Structure 1
Amino acid sequence: MPIRNNLYLFYKRTQEIEEQVQPLLKLANQNGFHLVTNVEEADIIASIGGDNAFLQATRKTGFREDCLYVGVNTDSLGFYTDFMIQDFDQMIQAMKNEEVEVRRYPILKVTVDQEHPFYCLNECSIRSNVIKTFVIDVLIDDFHFETFRGDGMIVSTPTGSTAYNMSVKGAVVDPTLPSLQVSEIASLNNNEYRTLGTSFLLGADRTLTLKVVQDGNDHPIIGVDNEALSIRHAKEIKLRLANKSIKVLKLKNNSFWQKVQRNFL
């Protein structure tokens, strides 16, 4: 694969990370990369840190489709980070020797009350902010599927299925299946109230609509990936896969399922 040259580094400006980044900067220059300070000029956006840093890098750079994202970890390998900062020279050699490949990851589009949409790579979560049952009407396309009562819901992408979704017993989904997964957080199920009681998957062309019942508990906490939205009131949240994806530079011999095995088995 042709090597792109304009490199932008996204990282938290702490003294510790700055010290770790300096040898990387020198190595990048020695290998023909042009370091840019304006992200709009970048061909490659490299996040320095863990998976959280990668999520922030994609969101704060606008989920660009015209560049490559690469995750470089400072601690241990994650689901989005295939490379370690101390092995950056190996990453460059892997690129030169075509030991890497580009994978496309789907993005979730979130629209609250028909306002400007938000995007996320892992998941969107909707949770009650008070100690009271949260009531949500769940619609699949235009079909009223169920009325949820509980603490909240998580809607995740396949790559996000191993994150928050997994903590509530959601399924792990192969990232080659473009879909969104809906998982409950502490649903209320008894003789009076009933939900499906398990996670379910929706295809790439489906639209999920969550209508918050206006009963005094209509100020949910809405999170996109690792950041809470500053929305004080919400009536309707629409979620679907966006008509765009991001391109991520990955090692050929480090598949999604190898990462699942390494992290959980």
Structure 2
Amino acid sequence: MKFAVTTKGDHKSNKIKMIIEQYLLDFDLEIDEEEPEIVITVGGDGTFLHAVHYYFHRLKETAFIGLHTGHLGFYADWLPEEVEKLVLEIAKETFEIVEYPLLSTEIYQENQEEPDRYLALNEMTIKKIEGSVVVDVMINGELFERFRGDGLCVSTPSGSTAYNKALGGAIIHPSLATMQITEMSSINNRVYRTIGSPLILPSHHVTQFKPTTKSNNFFITIDHITKNLDNVQAIECSVAKERIRFARFRPFPFWKRVHESFISDER
């Protein structure tokens, strides 16, 4: 089996990477950073996000595992003291594939024949460097509301525990193929009126955000990637046809992760 190991870049993570690589080579596995079947990330959830984006073109062939060198994460669920156990599990190939939904975002710009398409594991956000975000929110081609405020966040179920939660969004189990739209400080008056609560849309729904003013430059993030774009005509979001594949060697229930991250006071 072919594998690759990515790292946060700090001394501790790099040392663990070297140990994992040597152990797996001893088991006759092959390092292949271009076409790996398994990608092991060493660091944190940020390291995991970077690796996923790097291998987005191999979602059907590559499964991901995260080893956390800090606190337990939502994506990186193995700890440094479990390296030998993890290596043995990988070598035996006794893992289960678990798939999570992703978010598809298409950005249409002026004088551009085809939109730029991006995939997100956590979320896409729309903001402006100066002034308010003013967009028509369209659902399946019909006007739902005219939004004005600091911005909007569209998240995946697995990303519902990230920025979305900080904005007051709901936590959604990743087995549900949905996307969630959450407002950032909306302005409600006689001109602008929004629903004022998060919207959870199913996989067969498409939402578009269309600027209503000539000032159509936006600060857009796709997970950890930021883009300052001019002449944006529309931003279209939907549940992606592609899915991310996790290699699971043991049960790690989603609600247990939520509990340990936000409720448990154990250190």
TM-score (norm. length: structure 2): 0.90
Distance 1:260 1:24 in 2: 28
Where does structure 2 lack aligned partners over 5 or more consecutive residues?
A: 109-113
The residue number in structure 2 matching 1:90 is 85
Q: 1:116, CA displacement in angstroms?
A: 2.5
Distance 1:177 1:16 in 2: 36
The residue number in structure 2 matching 1:189 is 188
Distance 2:231 2:247 in 1: 38
- Confirm whether residue 73 of structure 1 aligns to residue 50 of structure 2: no
The residue number in structure 1 matching 2:171 is 172
Whether the 8 Å contact between 1:148 and 1:187 is mirrored in structure 2 is yes
What is the root-mean-square deviation of aligned Cα atoms in Å? 1.9
SS of 1:53 mapped into structure 2: helix
The residue number in structure 2 matching 1:244 is 242
Whether the 8 Å contact between 1:11 and 1:53 is mirrored in structure 2 is yes
The runs of at least 4 consecutive aligned structure 1 residues that moved more than 6 Å come to 96-99
Whether the 8 Å contact between 1:82 and 1:250 is mirrored in structure 2 is no
Whether the 8 Å contact between 1:112 and 1:234 is mirrored in structure 2 is yes
In terms of fraction of residues, the more strand-rich structure is: 2
Distance 1:122 1:88 in 2: 27
Q: 1:95, CA displacement in angstroms?
A: 4.6
Q: 1:94, CA displacement in angstroms?
A: 3.9
- Confirm whether residue 123 of structure 1 aligns to residue 95 of structure 2: no
Q: 1:86, CA displacement in angstroms?
A: 3.6
The residue number in structure 2 matching 1:56 is 50
SS of 1:190 mapped into structure 2: coil
Which amino acid counterpart does residue 28 of structure 2 have in structure 1?
A: G
Where does structure 1 lack aligned partners over 5 or more consecutive residues?
A: none
Q: 1:76, CA displacement in angstroms?
A: 2.0
Q: 1:159, CA displacement in angstroms?
A: 0.3
Distance 2:50 2:153 in 1: 19
Distance 1:231 1:10 in 2: 30
TM-score (norm. length: structure 1): 0.90
Distance 1:260 1:251 in 2: 19
Which of 208, 214, 226 does residue 228 from structure 1 map onto? 226
- Confirm whether residue 101 of structure 1 aligns to residue 96 of structure 2: yes
How many corresponding residue pairs?
Answer: 257
